[in-house]
Structure 1
C-alpha cells in the first residue's frame, strides 16, 4: 500500500499545531483521555482482527447486507438530519442517501471513474452484519478500550460504525456529542481538530437546522465577510494510518480528509456517551458551555414554536446590553 505525502494535504489558511502521539501503554495517555484532549494512540491492537477488511473480503462476507451509502456530486459529504428538514426551509444537501447492498457498493467502488458520483459508506456493526465480520468484531481488543472507558468514567458504548470512503472525500468540519475512538484499518485520514473554545470562529449552524453541529465555513473558499472570525481559527492536525487510534473528545470540531495513499479508506469508530457529572466545578469547561448554548437554543425554539425567531430573541437580549463598553 502506498504511503501518503505532504503534497496530498489540502492547503488551508488556518494556523495548525500537531496532535500529540503516544503509545497505548504510555502513563501519560490516561491524562489526555480523562481531560478531553485529543491524542493519536499507537500500538493498541484495537482492531488488529479487522486488518484484512478490504473491499474484496468485505464483499465476500457482507455481499447481501443492505448498507447506508451516501452519494455526492463532489468530494464533500456534509452530514444532515433529515428530521429537521421542514416544508418552509429551502435546503439542498451536498450529498444524499442511496441504500444498496454491500455487493452493489463494492462494484460501484471498483468501477468508479472520474466524473461519477462519489461514494461514502457508513454502516453500523452489529450481530446481523455477517458471521465472519461478527467473528472478527468480537476479537477486537475490547479489554483495552473498555479499560479506558472505565478509567475516564465514560458512559456506555452506543455504536460502532464501519466507514468506507473514496480517496479525496472530505467530511467537513463538525462536532459530535459523544466521545470517539477512531481506528483506521486501511489507508490514511487527515484530521484537523479545533477545541470547543473555537466555537465562535467556526460558526456552526443553528441547532434547529438540518446541518446542526456542522460548521458553515467552506474551508476551501472561506467567506471572511460573512464569517470574519474564521481568520482567527487555530487548530491541530494529524494523519491517522492503519492500526492507529485517534481519540476525538466530545464537542471537539474535526474536519476529515481521505488521503490518496489508497483508492479508499476503511475505518471503524467507537462511540461512547459522556459520563455523569458527579460534581459541577467552576469555571465550566468549554464543552459544558457548548451544552448550555445548545440547550438555550432548543428551549427557545420549543417555547416560540418557530426556530426562525430564536436569532432575533437572542439579539434582543444581547445587542446593546451585553455588548456595551460598560459590561
Structure 2
C-alpha cells in the first residue's frame, strides 16, 4: 500500500482555534465542512487526561475487544461479517505497542458510557455540542500504520486526538456515487468499495474525477467532521482518541447519502431507527415522519417523499388494523401522486397510531 491516495490532492482541511467554535446547533455554518480545531482543551477538559499511562492506571485490567488488520494495516469490512476480535486487557495493548515486532492491535469504537464506567463518571462533554443530541462517546486505540477504510457516518462527529496523530482523507457527501458505496440493507452500505490508495479506475471509473482533502490531527487537536463526509483514517503513532457522535438535523444532511439511507429506511419500514438517528420531531417517530414528509415535499424530493409515505402507511396498517384509513390511502393512490404525501401528513398529524 502506498503512503498517499492515488488521486489528486485538493488541499488540506483548514484549522481554527477552539475559541472560534461556537454552538454547533442545527443550521450552523460550521457543520458544512470539516475543520481541525486547535487548542481543543478549551472545549472539554477530561478526555485529554486519558493518555496511555493514565488509561493503564484507570482501566489497565479491563478486557476490551481487540482486532488485527490485514498485512497492509487495513481493516477489511465485509457485508454481514463482523471483524474477528479477542478480549485483550488494555495494559496488554500498550505492552504490545512497545514491542516493535508485536501485533498491531486496534481497539475500535469502545462505548465509554456503556463499557467503561470508570471513565464515564469522569467524562465531560464538548461545550460546543448540544449534550441532549450526543448519542455515543467512543474510545479508540490504534497501532501505528493501521488504516480504517473509506466510509461515512450518519452523525456529526467531534474527534479528539488525545495522543499520537491520525490523518483523515476526506471527500464531500456529494461524491457518493463516485465512491461506489456498498449494497443497501447490509452492514456495508456506508462503506466505499474503492481502494483509495490503489484505485482501480477500470472497475470504478467515476472515482477518477475526484480529488481528496486531508487533515492530520495532532495530540491536543480535534476534527469536526460533519455527517455523511467520507473519510479514511490512518494512524501514525500509538494513537488514543475519543469521539463524540451526535444526531444531525435533516436540514443539515439533505445529501445523496441521506437520501439513500431514506430509501433503505423505506424498504425496511423502520422509521423508528431513522428518528433515533436524526434530529426531527423530538423522540416521536410519527411526528418526525410527518415533519420529514412535509420537508421532502417542500424541497421537491417527490420520489423520496412518496416512497417514505407508502412505508409509513404500510406500517400504520400493521400497527392500527382497526383504522382502515392507511389502507384506503394506499388504494386511492396506487401510483406516485403528491396528494398521497399531503394526505399522509394529515393522517399522521391526527395521532391515529403509535410507532
TM-score (norm 1): 0.71
Higher CA-based Rg: 2
**Equivalenced residues, count:** 264
Residue 29 (structure 1) shift? 8.8
| Counterparts of 2:103 and 2:207, CA distance in 1 | 30
1:76 to 74, 77, 87: 74
| Partner residue, 1:56 | 53
- Alpha carbons of 1:251 and 1:155: their partners in 2 closer, same or farther (altered >3 Å)? farther
| Counterparts of 1:25 and 1:57, CA distance in 2 | 27
| Counterparts of 1:290 and 1:233, CA distance in 2 | 17
CA contact (8 A) 1:42 1:244 kept: yes
| Counterparts of 1:109 and 1:178, CA distance in 2 | 31
Q: Does 1:102 align with 2:100?
A: no
- Alpha carbons of 1:220 and 1:34: their partners in 2 closer, same or farther (altered >3 Å)? closer
Q: Does 1:124 align with 2:111?
A: yes
| Partner residue, 1:292 | 259
| Counterparts of 1:197 and 1:210, CA distance in 2 | 21
Residue 32 (structure 1) shift? 6.3
CA contact (8 A) 2:11 2:214 kept: yes
Deviation track 1:24-43 (CA, whole Å, cap 9, x = no partner) reads: 12278968654422111112
Q: Which has the higher contact order (CA 8 A, sep 6+)?
A: 1
CA RMSD of aligned residues (A): 3.0
| Counterparts of 2:86 and 2:104, CA distance in 1 | 11
| Partner residue, 1:322 | none
| Partner residue, 2:192 | 215
Structure 1: which 5+ runs fail to align? 1-7, 86-90, 303-327
Residue 47 (structure 1) shift? 5.0
| Counterparts of 1:190 and 1:162, CA distance in 2 | 17
CA contact (8 A) 1:33 1:247 kept: no
- Alpha carbons of 1:27 and 1:251: their partners in 2 closer, same or farther (altered >3 Å)? closer
Q: Does 1:180 align with 2:174?
A: no
- Alpha carbons of 1:224 and 1:125: their partners in 2 closer, same or farther (altered >3 Å)? same
| Partner residue, 1:4 | none
Please state whether the residue corresponding to 1:105 is helix, strand or coil: helix
Structure 2: which 5+ runs fail to align? 270-355
| Counterparts of 1:11 and 1:234, CA distance in 2 | 9
| Partner residue, 1:40 | 36
| Partner residue, 2:226 | 249
CA contact (8 A) 1:198 1:234 kept: no
Q: Does 1:67 align with 2:64?
A: yes
| Counterparts of 1:208 and 1:117, CA distance in 2 | 34
Between structures 1 and 2, the one with greater helix share: 2
Deviation track 1:274-305 (CA, whole Å, cap 9, x = no partner) reads: 13x5xx6xxxx774432222232454477xxx
Please state whether the residue corresponding to 2:176 is helix, strand or coil: helix
Deviation track 1:50-69 (CA, whole Å, cap 9, x = no partner) reads: 44433333122212222122
